[in-house]
Structure 1
């Protein structure tokens, strides 16, 4: 069984989370500069078995796509061309950034560490992945 890799896509940087081989535990993996994301994913799948990409789907409260969806669509097209053998599934990512920030507060991280936006992105990707695993 391959891993599931979750992507919290951002204009500047992208959070990435991954499951274990049994797809039970979601863990933050890293944050990558978005312009290097495709090459990072290509390198990652050379050493790890990945069976699914989960990509966050940002939505407004009225269920319409958020403005950042316009940035994600071209990325999805590039990802599909670069790595056609791994399917892509979209997952609602509403509130994940707020939940990630609250998680940081709850875990006792200092204000300085909570300002680390790359950590927020990584935690957001982990939350996207955990929500998917719970719903599965």
Structure 2
């Protein structure tokens, strides 16, 4: 009888310890998952590290990463396009975030000639500015 009582007490102690441990483990997992974020690209700062006539495709890959789009031009000329969309916390809010403001779109176009940077074009604008045809349906966008 004494042994079964001790066994029940040990089981009760394990139950009381198990619940806080499980809650602690869940809390730690949630905290760690909140630390994960999508890698951030800073095109404006990264493109300033490149030089026209000096930088190569390898340099561009190191500083800007893989391009979002590529276009083969005439001969040995190639254009690489980099796009970045920055949204504020309010713009990321579900349901009404699209009414708060417009995301900022950053675009970098790098043109190569024989593997060397020929030109770099940087632009930044709100997404609303790119969708002007929605405001003026009577005008057609020229492609």
TM-score interval w.r.t. the shorter chain?
under 0.3
Normalised by the length of structure 2, the TM-score is: 0.23
Name the larger-Rg structure. 2
Normalised by the length of structure 1, the TM-score is: 0.24
